[in-house]
């Protein structure tokens, strides 16, 4: 039984009809070098770990695409880039899918009060990518509080958006503190007559890597990421072509560190501080949920839109198909379904989120979804699951991640293959090894059989693409 829009059904009765509240937490640019996924990491995320202790942590979760706009569009519509043509940060996702209901619209149509704050859709072009039809009420992401001049003393390294350091002094002046405050109030004052879907978009650790001074303390010993010299020697032409536009991030960092020694280390520490800050804001929202009488009837989801390279494989930023750019934190808490503190090692990608939330909330399935519900894994993390995770970045460029292997095929047909049991850093490309022909064939069968043409970019005069 569905809730009709505007129908005044007491919330308690709605809960009996298996329509729980939903708290939907999105983090921007958080990779797997956090204590949630790496117990040895110096980047502590106690609130993410607290949330994982209440439900299920997916240890092999992956974005649908390693860039903000295509990742969020795919997750929130349930349609892959190969279906929609939304491959880049400028792609007009709503123009490509004018009649497609987002997951929030599905819940609105079912009678939910849908609220949100922060970065849900891509933040580029002053909110032009936002979708008003997805929310009953929404607080846009606050403008970035910028220092009077770049803190990293590197005017030659990118724009003002490519900066890092302790800023601002007051936590209340940050983007995410304001988004968290909105969500805290929503949890304190939910609708009395219907369930609520609350989306909270946490912007950090997205660049610029600014976090208040307190979050930079105790980070002096954060090590540099592990790298292999000449790591690109065994990369195919497809990788070279794909990475050409973003190569300046790493070469520029090398030049900057030569001019101002320690700059690269400061960059890493600033990212770590932003992760800690992000975790703290999520903790504030989780505290508000804990104080809510509806906490035991709320499905909680936390995911990152993609990972982030900090110099691994001589790469900085996202925009790649390697593990570090695609492996993400992903937690689900489903009362009565997930076992507290459980872990699932099956590979999943974020196109699964749309159908899974429909199922958990008692809403009808949507056969148009490209992903499938992972409800069976929520009930039993060891359930049979042969499906790998699939990632796409740009037309014809795809990665398939199984439990053991990462297989990448580029638009020019060249390939990479990495064995994660022996090579977790992906330093040795095995694609040319005759011994692994069968492994490659097994992974090739999961590649998309259709490739939508790229849609037009959404443009605004005088604007530049955001990272």
Catalytic (active-site) positions: 68, 122
3-state secondary structure of 61: strand
Q: Which pairs from 393-396 meet CB under 8 Å and 24+ separation?
A: 393/65, 393/66, 393/67, 393/70, 393/87, 393/242, 393/319, 393/320, 393/321, 394/87, 394/88, 394/242, 395/87, 395/451, 395/453, 395/454, 396/451
The two tokens of residue 36 are: 């949630």
Are the C-beta atoms of 90 and 128 separated by less than 8 Å?
no
Our separate counts of H helices and E strands in the chain read 15, 19
Best CA proximity match to 102, nearest among 81, 75, 80: 75
Residues 6+ apart with CB under 8 A from 441: none
> CB 431: neighbour CB atoms within 10 A?
19
Are the C-beta atoms of 394 and 409 separated by less than 8 Å?
no
The crossing angle, in degrees rounded to 10, of helices 68-77 and 353-360 is: 30
Q: State the number of CA atoms in the 13 A half-sphere of 279 facing the CB.
A: 23
Best CA proximity match to 59, nearest among 309, 323, 266: 323
């Amino acid at each position: 039984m569905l809730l009709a829009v505007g129908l005044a059904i007491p919330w308690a009765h709605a809960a009996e009809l298996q329509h729980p509240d939903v708290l939907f937490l999105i983090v921007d640019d958080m990779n797997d070098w956090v204590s949630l996924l790496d117990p040895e990491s110096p980047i502590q995320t106690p609130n993410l770990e607290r949330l994982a202790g209440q439900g299920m942590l997916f240890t092999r979760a992956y974005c649908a695409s390693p860039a903000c706009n295509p990742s969020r569009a795919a997750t929130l519509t349930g349609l892959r880039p190969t279906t929609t043509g939304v491959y880049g940060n400028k792609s007009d996702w709503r123009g490509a899918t004018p009649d497609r209901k987002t997951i929030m619209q599905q819940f609105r149509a079912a009678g939910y009060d849908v609220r949100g704050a922060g970065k849900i859709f891509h933040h580029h072009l002053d909110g032009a990518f936002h979708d008003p039809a997805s929310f009953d009420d929404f607080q846009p992401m606050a403008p970035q509080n910028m220092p009077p001049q770049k803190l990293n003393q590197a005017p030659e390294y990118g724009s003002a958006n490519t900066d890092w350091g302790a800023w601002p002094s007051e936590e209340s002046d940050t983007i995410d503190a304001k988004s968290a405050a909105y969500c805290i109030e929503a949890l304190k004052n939910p609708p009395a007559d219907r369930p609520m879907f609350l989306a909270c978009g946490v912007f950090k650790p997205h660049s610029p890597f600014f976090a208040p001074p307190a979050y930079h303390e105790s980070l002096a010993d954060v090590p540099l990421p592990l790298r292999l010299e000449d790591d690109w020697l065994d990369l195919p032409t497809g990788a070279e072509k794909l990475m050409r536009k973003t190569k300046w991030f790493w070469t520029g960092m090398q030049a900057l560190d030569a001019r101002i020694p320690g700059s690269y280390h400061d960059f890493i520490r600033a990212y770590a501080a932003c992760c800690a800050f992000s975790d703290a804001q999520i903790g504030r929202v989780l505290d508000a949920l804990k104080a809510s009488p509806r906490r035991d009837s709320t499905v909680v989801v936390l995911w990152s839109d993609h990972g982030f390279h900090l110099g691994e494989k001589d790469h900085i930023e996202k925009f790649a198909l390697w593990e570090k750019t695609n492996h993400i934190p992903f937690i689900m808490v489903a009362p009565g379904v997930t076992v507290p503190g459980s872990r699932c090692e099956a590979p999943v990608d974020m196109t699964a989120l749309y159908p899974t939330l429909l199922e958990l909330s008692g809403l009808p399935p949507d056969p148009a979804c490209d992903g499938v519900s992972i409800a069976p894994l929520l009930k039993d993390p060891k359930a049979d699951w042969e499906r790998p995770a699939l990632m796409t970045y740009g037309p014809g460029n795809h990665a398939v991640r199984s439990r053991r292997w990462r297989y990448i095929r580029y638009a020019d047909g060249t390939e990479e293959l990495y064995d994660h049991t022996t090579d977790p850093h992906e330093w040795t490309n095995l694609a040319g090894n005759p011994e692994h022909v069968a492994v490659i064939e097994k992974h090739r069968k999961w590649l998309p059989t259709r490739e939508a043409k790229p849609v037009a970019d959404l443009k605004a005069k005088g604007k530049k693409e955001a990272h």
